C-alpha cells in the first residue's frame, strides 16, 4: 500500500508540478547542466548494456532521461519508465517516439513486474524524497525484479567535502533539501542500505563536472 506521504506528494505532481517540471529543471540546472547530469547517468550504465537487455527507469518523472537512453542504445532493448504520478507519465508519453519504450503509471513500492525481469535498473533523484522505511521497501522491490548479477544505478545528491563547494552546494541545493526532503539522511545511509538489501557496491562516482553536487552509485545484485 502506498504511504499517505507519497499519496500527498504524487497529488502535488499530478495537479500542478508535471506541467512545469521540464522547464523547472532547465531553469534550475541550466540546459547545459541538465545535459551533463543526464549524460553522466547514461555513461555510467551504457558500457554494460547488450542487445536484448531489459531496462527499467524507476521514478522516471517526465521521461527525459529514459528517452535519452532509449535514443542512444540498441533498439533491440526493451525499456520501461515508471512513475507514480499520472501527470508525469502523461508528459513522458507525449514525448515518446520509440516502439521499444513503454511509460507506465506504477508504484515503486509494488512494481508490477515478474521476479528477475530486468538486467538494469536506474533511479534518479528520487530516493532522497523518501524516509528510510520507504527507501528500504523500494530497494527490496528493485532486488526482486532485478536479475542476479544485474546492475542498479542510483543518481542522487551529494554534499561535497571541500568547504567552498559545500557552501555552494548548500546555497544552491542542500539547505532547502534538508528542510523539505530526507536528502541528508539518504546520503549518510544509502550505502549501508544497499548492503543490507544484498547489493554489492561497485563504484561511488562524483559528478565533478557539476562541482560534486551529485553522485552516481553503481551496484550489482548478488
Of residues 122, 150, 137, 143, the one with CA closest to residue 63: 122
Q: 57 lies in a domain?
A: yes
Q: What is the pLDDT of residue 174?
A: 84
Q: 13 lies in a domain?
A: yes
* Residue ranges in the chain whose pLDDT is less than 70: 1-19
CATH number for the domain harbouring residue 103: 3.40.50.150
Overall number of domains in the chain: 1
d(CA 173, CA 213): 8
Q: What is the pLDDT of residue 27?
A: 77
What are 184-198's pLDDT values in tens digits?
999 999 999 999 999
Q: What is the pLDDT of residue 30?
A: 86
Q: What is the pLDDT of residue 201?
A: 98
Residue 61: helix, strand or coil by DSSP? coil
Q: 73 lies in a domain?
A: yes
Amino acid at each position: 500500500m502506498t504511504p499517505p506521504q507519497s499519496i500527498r506528494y504524487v497529488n502535488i505532481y499530478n495537479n500542478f508540478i508535471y506541467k512545469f517540471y521540464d522547464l523547472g529543471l532547465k531553469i534550475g540546472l541550466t540546459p547545459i547542466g541538465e545535459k551533463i547530469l543526464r549524460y553522466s547517468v547514461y555513461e555510467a550504465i551504457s558500457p554494460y548494456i547488450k542487445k536484448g537487455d531489459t531496462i527499467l527507469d524507476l521514478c522516471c518523472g517526465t521521461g527525459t532521461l529514459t528517452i535519452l537512453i532509449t535514443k542512444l542504445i540498441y533498439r533491440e532493448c526493451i525499456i520501461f519508465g515508471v512513475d507514480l504520478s499520472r501527470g508525469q507519465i502523461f508528459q513522458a508519453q507525449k514525448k515518446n517516439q520509440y516502439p521499444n519504450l513503454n511509460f507506465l503509471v506504477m508504484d515503486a513500492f509494488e512494481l508490477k513486474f515478474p521476479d528477475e525481469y530486468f538486467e538494469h535498473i536506474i533511479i534518479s533523484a528520487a530516493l532522497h524524497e523518501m524516509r528510510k522505511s520507504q527507501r528500504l521497501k523500494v530497494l527490496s522491490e528493485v532486488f526482486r525484479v532485478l536479475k542476479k548479477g544485474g546492475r542498479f544505478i542510483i543518481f542522487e545528491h551529494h554534499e561535497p567535502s571541500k568547504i567552498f563547494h559545500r557552501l555552494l552546494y548548500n546555497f544552491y541545493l542542500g539547505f532547502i533539501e534538508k528542510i523539505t526532503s530526507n536528502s541528508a539522511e539518504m546520503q549518510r545511509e544509502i550505502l549501508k542500505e544497499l548492503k543490507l538489501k544484498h547489493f554489492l557496491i561497485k563504484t561511488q562516482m562524483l559528478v565533478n563536472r557539476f562541482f560534486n553536487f551529485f553522485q552516481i552509485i553503481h551496484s550489482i545484485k548478488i
